[in-house]
Amino acid sequence: MSERPTKAILRVLDGEPVWPLPIWIMRQAGRYLPEYRATRTQAGSFLDLCYTPRLAEEVTLQPIRRFGFDAAIMFSDILVIPHALGQEVRFVENEGPKLDPITSSADLKRLADELPLDRLDPVFETLDCLSASLPRETTLLGFCGAPWTVASYMIAGKGTPDQAPARLTAYRDPAFMQVLIDKLVAASTAYLIRQIDAGAEAVQLFESFGAALPPALFDKLSLDPIRRIVEGLKQARPQAKVIVFVRGGGSHLHRFASAGVGDALALDWTLDPAQILPDLPGRVATQGNLDPLALIAGGEAMEKGVDHILSAVRGRPHIFNLGHGILPETPTEHVAQLIARVRGTRA
């Protein structure tokens, strides 16, 4: 018989209800922390920060030191995959990511056939360092973007409202879209396997742009690719735990659960756990889902939001989190108050 995990988050991912709920927050290492901004300045560019293990380790640890979250998520970005495949990627101050758009089969051919894993060695080294430096009770998380979300950046070359360029490509040239998605499935699977080997205990897939997909495209571009990655990872590394976050996944979530895709499903803030959870099949765990703006507001708005989630998930395997990433304008005191409320202690 395999040993039962002792870390709170791994117990939840094993299907065990844990109380008080373990907590981490998406984008917990970031600009709302003054110590992050200082290290970010020291690093120079955002990609230099991602690819310098000593600095990436430092910013991963900052929110753990300050707040004692139950999980640390390695510091990196979903766009290191297109970068490693050979696409030009830059992060422009106050504008976000910029890539040289991939729009033709000729552009696609210029990308590497297989993910050159050695280009991502700094990420694996960061994980290796973190396995040694994290407190013993803290779960180490790896991650990658889901293929549709990453493809939408690769095609548009930037963030776009409703991912219109990638959606249009999916209608006009489904064969091109499928080749790109398949490439990302293979790359992401190989990348996550290496993350597990480097010390990640669980990984999260970020489908940040699931809400843009019409039902007719959802299975082909989101559910299927995610299912193939999770199956490939689990086949290679059966112990790996997976959290699947599909922003806008709403009505599709029960299909992820019944297909057994993911040990936990992360809910975005538009979903009411009191309604969703009773209908979710199987023993799938859940994660989420306070509105990041309720955390900025703090006070009663935050307390009500937290209390509603706590009462809806009581007795179930659930990890407390936000319904999407924390925003740069979030006051750090509110984060401390959030954790105290979830843990039933004082800030």
Q: How far is the CB of 146 from ligand CP3 (least distance, A)?
A: 9
Q: Does 75 bind ligand CP3 (CB under 6 A)?
A: yes
Query: CA angle, corner 136, sides to 131 and 142, nearest 5?
Result: 40
Residue in 11, 70, 77, 191 annotated catalytic: 77
Contact stretch for ligand CP3 (CB under 6 A) within 1-9, 22-30, 107-115, 219-227: 22-30
Contact status, residue 140 vs residue 204, Cβ threshold 8 Å: no
Q: Does 163 bind ligand CP3 (CB under 6 A)?
A: no
The span from the CA of 124 to the CA of 128, in Å, is: 6
Residue in 36, 51, 153, 191 annotated catalytic: 153
Q: Does 262 bind ligand CP3 (CB under 6 A)?
A: no
| CA 214, 206, 148, 259 torsion-angle sign | negative
Q: Determine which residue in the list 32, 69, 143, 218 makes contact with ligand CP3, applying CB under 6 A.
A: 143
Q: Determine which residue in the list 11, 40, 227, 252 makes contact with ligand CP3, applying CB under 6 A.
A: 40
Q: Does 255 bind ligand CP3 (CB under 6 A)?
A: no
Of the candidates 140, 120, 122, which has an alpha carbon nearest to the alpha carbon of residue 130?
Answer: 140
Q: Determine which residue in the list 15, 68, 159, 298 makes contact with ligand CP3, applying CB under 6 A.
A: 159
Contact stretch for ligand CP3 (CB under 6 A) within 10-18, 89-97, 110-118, 184-192: 89-97
Residue in 11, 40, 228, 316 annotated catalytic: 40
Q: Determine which residue in the list 8, 9, 13, 26 makes contact with ligand CP3, applying CB under 6 A.
A: 26
Q: Does 29 bind ligand CP3 (CB under 6 A)?
A: yes
| CA 324, 328, 331, 332 torsion-angle sign | positive
Contact stretch for ligand CP3 (CB under 6 A) within 71-79, 101-109, 168-176, 182-190: 71-79
237 is catalytic: no
The span from the CA of 248 to the CA of 262, in Å, is: 17
Q: Where are the alpha helices (DSSP H) in the chain?
A: 8-13, 34-43, 46-51, 53-67, 80-85, 105-110, 121-133, 147-156, 164-172, 174-197, 215-218, 224-236, 253-258, 273-279, 292-297, 299-313, 332-343
Contact status, residue 73 vs residue 28, Cβ threshold 8 Å: yes
Q: Does 150 bind ligand CP3 (CB under 6 A)?
A: no
228 is catalytic: no
Cα→Cα distances 182→64, 115, 222, Å: 36, 12, 11
Q: Does 90 bind ligand CP3 (CB under 6 A)?
A: no
77 is catalytic: yes
Q: Which two tokens stand for residue 196?
A: 């597990």
Q: How far is the CB of 236 from ligand CP3 (least distance, A)?
A: 22
Contact status, residue 53 vs residue 111, Cβ threshold 8 Å: no
Residues forming the site for ligand CP3 (CB under 6 A): 26-31, 40, 46, 73, 75, 77-79, 91, 96-97, 143, 145, 159, 206, 208, 325
Active-site residues, by number, are 27, 31, 40, 77, 153
